[in-house]
Amino acid sequence: MSAVLADRARPAPARGAVPARTALVLLGTGVVGGAFLRLLDTPAAAPLRLVGVADSRRQCTDAACLAGRGLRERLQAEGEARDDAVLLAALDASGAADKAIVDATASTALAAQHPRWLARGYRVVTANKTLAGGELAGWRALQAALAGGARYGDAATVGAGLPVLSTLRRLRACGDRLLKLEGVFSGSLSWLFNSYDGRRPFSALLREARAGGYAEPDPRCDLSGADVARKLLILARAAGFAPDCDEVDVQGLVPAPLRALDAEAFLARMQELDAPLAARHAAAASRGCVLRFLARLDADGRARVGLTEVPATHPAARLDGTDNLFVLTTTRYRAQPLVIQGPGAGPEVTAQALLGDVLALGDPIAAERRT
């Protein structure tokens, strides 16, 4: 067992002992939360002490329950009923200088608590997009909390930690203005259209994507474009615009008759997507273009998400696998846009983005450098 693992297992420090620099609570132990727990057992997490973990139904703040491996299983077996107040009390009792809440869920109800937690002095680090990429009122509440000096780590919400939000904010702080943002913001939609050449039916690719874990169990989560629209909203707001959800023009790929079906019925009828997409593919190919599921923001803040024909020279046409792409044209990157590309999904990189934010927000020197 590593020294760090032992630290995670250690009960709260005795009075007079040096406490961990940052105490943290983890919300969500799924794909991303599970990867985050594994990272806590690495030397990089040495300044951190886990004092609470929760999934949607159970939680644990007890040192013996939090100790060592198999935490997710112990949570099920020994966990107590969910109560945010108990998790916050564990942070307060930790004696740590910094207290962080890591949100690795997709819960709208939890995200709505972020401003309140920030106002109470906790750091919040999140992979959950539903606040910053949700209703404008929620985003404004978040901005109000941040205006009071609170610190929010959101690198994991877009591009799974690719340096997109940080770059956009840095450019803006330097007075550089976004003229156009364009890209592929979904790993699954990237893979689907990078792979689709019209020879195999689109529904066969969807089945392969589900089997390979590149698509959600219900592929409509990806195909609707809603997740991409949330990311575009987060980026648009970081760029200085304030669009509301209904101002994003989302052209999803799920035809109306398939939207209300339950997941199983949709899976049984997925081949209804094949003919329309084959026709669009053939039309694009006849013009020397390929199809990509693009998100776009223009200089006036107009946001659009949908399937687009792009020429072979477009950076999106050259994407591979599940890569994400962000092409930023700004007043100073005008002749040649700034391009950020790389894995935009996956538990390890997303968990690493969370860890990076927890470490940076808890580091007084790094925090000083950012202000």
Ligand X SMILES: NC(=O)c1ccc[n+]([C@@H]2O[C@H](COP(=O)([O-])OP(=O)(O)OC[C@H]3O[C@@H](n4cnc5c(N)ncnc54)[C@H](OP(=O)(O)O)[C@@H]3O)[C@@H](O)[C@H]2O)c1
Question: For ligand X, which residue of 24, 71, 110, 155 counts as binding (CB under 6 A)?
Answer: 110
Smallest distance from ligand X to CB 162, Å: 10
Question: Which amino acid makes up residue 69?
Answer: R
Residue 251 as a binder of ligand X (CB under 6 A): the answer is no
Smallest distance from ligand X to CB 129, Å: 6
Catalytic residue among 99, 129, 180, 231: 231
User: What is the total count of residues that contact ligand X (CB under 6 A)?
Assistant: 25
Smallest distance from ligand X to CB 345, Å: 4
Q: Closer to ligand X at the Cβ: 153 or 347?
A: 347
Nearest-10 Cα torsion for 171, 140, 246, 157? 50
Q: With the C-alpha atoms ordered 128, 210, 303, 342, is the resulting torsion angle positive or negative? A: positive
Stretch that binds ligand X, among 195-203, 312-320, 325-333, 344-352 (CB under 6 A): 344-352
Question: For ligand X, which residue of 183, 219, 346, 362 counts as binding (CB under 6 A)?
Answer: 346
List all residues 6 or more positions away from 235 whose beta carbon is below 8 Å from its beta carbon: 158, 164, 165, 168, 181, 297, 326
Question: In a 10 Å sphere around its CB, with 0-12 CB exposed, 13-18 middle and 19+ buried, how is residue 14 labelled?
Answer: exposed
Distance CA 340, CA 337 (A): 10
Task: For 36, list phi and psi in degrees, rounded to 5.
Answer: -65, -40
Catalytic, 99? Answer no
Residue 55 as a binder of ligand X (CB under 6 A): the answer is yes
Q: Closer to ligand X at the Cβ: 107 or 195?
A: 107
Q: Which residue is nearest to ligand X (CB)?
A: 30
Distance CA 356, CA 27 (A): 17
Question: For ligand X, which residue of 20, 23, 32, 141 counts as binding (CB under 6 A)?
Answer: 32
Pairing, β 338-343 against β 289-298? unpaired
Smallest distance from ligand X to CB 300, Å: 28
Can you tell me whether residue 290 is helix, strand or coil? strand
Residue 25 as a binder of ligand X (CB under 6 A): the answer is no
Residue 225 as a binder of ligand X (CB under 6 A): the answer is no
Quote the Cα angle for 192-195-199, to 5°.
Answer: 110
Residue 111 as a binder of ligand X (CB under 6 A): the answer is no
Smallest distance from ligand X to CB 326, Å: 14
List all residues 6 or more positions away from 86 whose beta carbon is below 8 Å from its beta carbon: 52, 59, 61, 80
Catalytically annotated residues = 231
Binding site for ligand X (CB under 6 A): 27-33, 54-57, 104-107, 110, 127-129, 156, 160, 345-347, 350
